Chain A
Amino acid sequence: GQSLEQPSEVTAVEGAIVQINCTYQTSGFYGLSWYQQHDGGAPTFLSYNALDGLEETGRFSSFLSRSDSYGYLLLQELQMKDSASYFCAVSSVGGATNKLIFGTGTLLAVQP
Chain B
Amino acid sequence: GAGVSQSPSNKVTEKGKDVELRCDPISGHTALYWYRQSLGQGLEFLIYFQGNSAPDKSGLPSDRFSAERTGGSVSTLTIQRTQQEDSAVYLCASSPTGGAEAFFGQGTRLTVV
Contacting pair B50 A43 (CB below 8 A): no
Given contacts A42-B91, A105-B42, contact A100 B103 (CB under 8 A): no
Question: Which residues of A are found within 8 Å of B35, using beta-carbon distances?
Answer: 102
Given contacts A96-B50, A99-B33, A99-B56, contact A104 B100 (CB under 8 A): no
Contacting pair B33 A100 (CB below 8 A): yes
Please tell me which stretch of A10-18, A44-52, A66-74, A75-83 contacts chain B, meaning at least 4 of its Cβ atoms lie within 8 angstroms of it.
Answer: A44-52
Contacting pair B102 A45 (CB below 8 A): yes
Contacting pair B100 A101 (CB below 8 A): no
Residue B41 lies at the interface, judged by CB distance under 8 Å to chain A: yes
Contacting pair B42 A102 (CB below 8 A): yes
Q: Can you name the residue of chain A whose Cβ is closest to the Cβ of B33? A: A100
Given contacts A42-B104, A102-B35, A104-B41, contact A97 B99 (CB under 8 A): no
Binding site for A on B (CB under 8 A): 31, 33, 35, 41-43, 45, 48, 50, 53-54, 56, 91, 93, 95, 98-107
Number of A-B residue pairs, CB cutoff 8 Å, is 64
Contact with B along A3-38 (1 / 0, CB 8 A): 000000000000000000000000000110100000
Contacting pair B101 A33 (CB below 8 A): yes
Given the complex of chains A and B, what is the CA–CA distance between A89 and B61 in angstroms?
Answer: 20
Least CB distance, B40 to chain A, in whole angstroms: 8
Least CB distance, A66 to chain B, in whole angstroms: 15
Question: Which residues of B are found within 8 Å of A105, using beta-carbon distances?
Answer: 41-43
> Known pairs A48-B100, A96-B53, A100-B45. 12 more at Cβ < 8 A?
A30-B99, A31-B100, A33-B100, A42-B105, A42-B107, A43-B43, A43-B104, A48-B101, A87-B42, A96-B50, A99-B33, A103-B42
